Amino acid sequence: MNQLNPDFKTSITLAYFFEKVQNLKFEMIDVDNGNNHDIIGEVEVSLGSLMGAPRQLWQKDLTYNGQGKRGQLIVRTEAIQETN
């Protein structure tokens, strides 16, 4: 709530296929009360780029409507093995 540098801790589990391009789009939105919200910025990336980032730490500048840097998104990834 009302943080200039929020640190989201919710994990998202996705199936990753090496032979397939899987694109993701991240949108950062400032939600105030009710239906009032502002789009801060967005960035698109492939899942392969996230998983192949050095130390599995990927970062990119957020942009919106051709405007320059509007913040930065940092994503940490971790490969997990699905087992029975």
Provide the residue ranges of all domains of the chain, joining segments of one domain with +: 23-76
Q: What is the mean pLDDT of residues 56-72?
A: 90
Over residues 56-65, the mean pLDDT reads 93
pTM to 2 decimal places: 0.80
Specify which residues 24 forms β-bridges with: 45
Q: How far is CA 67 from CA 37, 62, 71, in A?
A: 18, 9, 11
Percent residues over pLDDT 70 in the chain: 94
Average pLDDT over residues 27-46: 87
Q: What is the average per-residue pLDDT within 41-70?
A: 92
Q: What is the DSSP letter of 35?
A: T
Find the DSSP H helices in 3-61: 47-51
Q: What is the pLDDT of residues 3-36, one digit of tens each?
A: 778 888 888 888 888 889 999 999 998 887 777 8
End-to-end Cα spacing for the chain: 38
